[in-house]
Amino acid sequence: MIRVLALSGSLQPKSVNAALLQAAHRVVPDGIEITDAERLDAIPFVDRAGPDDAPAEAAAFRDAVGAADALLIASPEYGHSFPGMLKNALDWLVGSGELSALPVALLSASSTGGGGIRGQMALTQTLLAQAASIVGGLTVAGAKQKIGPDGELADERALRRIRELLVALGEAAEEHRAWLEG
């Protein structure tokens, strides 16, 4: 079983990016298990006093990432970048090695035509700085029109593309696991 840790870059439980993660749970292929990370806003601001001095919330996040075979990150674009709470959480991983070669897939949704691509670009830079392996990304433009009255993603094309991204993420995670086992 491939263990995927899902991170939400949005604090709003009914955001379009939360809907993308809910959709991923609905279309996840066999052999992949998605677990949602705890809310990232519970992690205190980074204090570089030392890795052994990390607060419990940061240590728990680091442990969760370390136990995952891959990450799935859904995040809105915020100011042509991505939200600070997600950046803060990822900053707690700097130098600790959990992201090194770890397969990561990115999702973003926006009511605009860009679908959050600038946020994904900034997030990609942050992840690559920590040697993560970006498997792919999906942007969903005009997302509010693709969410049904129940708050779930209803667009069949987007659902198909999320499933395809999860398949690619699972394959990359299997390769990464085999490489680790050497």
Q: What is the 3-state secondary structure (H, E, C) of 41-73?
A: HHCCCCCCCCHHHCCHHHHHHHHHHHHCCEEEE
Q: What are the tokens at 119?
A: 């946020």
Identify the domain containing residue 62 by its residue range.
2-181
**Residue 63, phi then psi, degrees to nearest 5:** -65, -40
Q: What is the pLDDT of residues 146-156, one digit of tens each?
A: 999 999 999 99
CATH classification at residue 124: 3.40.50.360
Q: What is the pLDDT of residues 60-101, one digit of tens each?
A: 999 999 999 999 999 999 889 999 999 999 999 998 899 999
Provide the pairing of β-strand 103-109 with 32-36: unpaired
**Domain count within the chain:** 1
Half-sphere exposure of residue 114: CA atoms within 13 angstroms, side-chain side: 11
Mean pLDDT of 41-70: 88
> What percent of the chain lies above the pLDDT cut of 70?
97
pLDDT for position 154: 95
Q: What is the pLDDT of residues 2-31, one digit of tens each?
A: 999 999 999 888 899 999 999 999 999 999
Q: Which segment, 47-56, 71-80, 161-170, is predicted with the most confidence on average?
A: 161-170
pLDDT for position 47: 78
